Amino acid sequence: MSVAIQTDPLQLREDSSGGLRIGQSRVLLELVLRAFQDGATPEAIVQRYPTLSLDQVYSVIAYYLQHHHEMERYLAGREEQAAEVQQRIEKEQGNLADLRRRLIAQRRS
């Protein structure tokens, strides 16, 4: 008996911000990988993100395990981008504690 062995392409696509999304879903690769790193099973990840299929999640995890260093660099880069965005938002919004105090005072008057 012979088995035809073929490899399916990894279902990742890059969005406009440089993030990798899985298949045609809007689920970011880093969300799945962080869930896996936190101990979630592929089945639990599919329950968390129902737009993903079980084979997509297993495929992404297998790729992560096979290309660990490359994926860790990607994750570190995404965390750096997120921190920069967070800093920019905080800078533009200013101190929200003052806003909260003013809103509470306004509501009481």
Each domain of the chain, given as residue ranges in start order, spans 12-108
Of the candidates 43, 45, 42, which has an alpha carbon nearest to the alpha carbon of residue 27? 45
How far is it, in rounded angstroms, from Cα 90 to Cα 109?
28
pLDDT in tens, 62-95: 999 999 999 999 999 999 999 998 898 888 877 7
The model's pTM is: 0.77
CA distances from 60 to 11, 21, 51, 108 (A): 8, 11, 14, 52
Residue 97 pLDDT greater than 80, yes or no: no
- The topology (CATH level 3) of 12-108 is Arc Repressor Mutant, subunit A (1.10.10)
Give per-residue pLDDT as tens, 9-59.
889 999 998 999 999 999 999 999 999 999 999 999 999 999 999 999 999
CA distance 55 to 43: 10
d(CA 24, CA 102): 44
User: 3-class DSSP state for residue 13?
Assistant: strand
Q: What phi and psi, each to the nearest 5 degrees, are found at residue 52?
A: -95, 150
Tokens of 47: 């329950």
